[in-house]
Chains A and B, each alone.
Chain A
Amino acid sequence: DIQMTQSPSSLSASVGDRVTITCQASQDIDDYLNWYQQKPGKAPKLLIYSTSNLEAGVPSRFSGGGFGTEFTFTITSLQPEDFATYYCQQFADLPLTFGGGTRVDFK
Chain B
Amino acid sequence: QLQLQESGPGLVKPSETLSLSCSVSGASVASYYWGWIRQSPEKGLEWIGHITQSGTTSYKESLKRRVSISVDTSKNHFSLDLHSVTAADTAVYFCGKLWSGSSSGVPYFDVWGQGTQVTVSS
Q: Chain A interface (Cβ within 8 Å of chain B)?
A: 30-32, 34, 42-46, 49-50, 55, 87, 89, 91-98, 100-101
Contact assessment for B102 and A91 in the assembled complex, using a CB-CB cutoff below 8 Å: yes
Determine the residue in chain A with the shortest Cβ distance to B48.
A95
From A42, A55, A96, A100, B44 is in contact (CB under 8 Å) with: A100
From B46, B103, B106, B110, A46 is in contact (CB under 8 Å) with: B110
Apart from the given pairs A42-B115, A96-B109, 11 other A-B contacts in the complex at a CB distance below 8 Å? A32-B106, A44-B109, A45-B112, A87-B45, A91-B107, A94-B58, A95-B60, A96-B37, A96-B47, A96-B108, A101-B44
Total inter-chain residue pairs, C-beta < 8 Å? 61
- B8 an interface residue at 8 Å Cβ cutoff? no
From B44, B58, B106, B114, A98 is in contact (CB under 8 Å) with: B44
Q: Chain B interface (Cβ within 8 Å of chain A)?
A: 37, 44-47, 58, 60-61, 94, 96, 99, 102-104, 106-115
The smallest C-beta distance from A2 to any residue of chain B, in angstroms, reads 11
Closest CB pairs A-B (n = 8): A43-B112, A98-B45, A96-B47, A91-B108, A32-B104, A91-B106, A95-B47, A95-B60
From B61, B103, B106, B112, A96 is in contact (CB under 8 Å) with: B106
Residues of the A chain whose Cβ atoms lie less than 8 Å from the Cβ of B45: 44, 87, 89, 98, 101
A31 to B113, CA, bound (A): 26
Interface residues of A, dominant DSSP: loop
Contact assessment for A50 and B109 in the assembled complex, using a CB-CB cutoff below 8 Å: no
Determine the residue in chain A with the shortest Cβ distance to B102.
A91
Residues of the A chain whose Cβ atoms lie less than 8 Å from the Cβ of B99: 49
Residues of the A chain whose Cβ atoms lie less than 8 Å from the Cβ of B47: 94-98
A97 to B37, CA, bound (A): 10
A32 to B111, CA, bound (A): 18
Residues of the B chain whose Cβ atoms lie less than 8 Å from the Cβ of A87: 45
Determine the residue in chain A with the shortest Cβ distance to B96.
A43
- What are 29 A-B contacts with C-beta separation under 8 Å? A30-B104, A32-B104, A42-B115, A43-B96, A43-B112, A43-B115, A44-B45, A44-B109, A45-B112, A46-B109, A46-B110, A49-B99, A49-B102, A50-B102, A55-B110, A89-B45, A91-B107, A91-B108, A92-B104, A92-B106, A94-B47, A95-B47, A95-B61, A96-B47, A96-B108, A97-B47, A100-B44, A101-B44, A101-B45
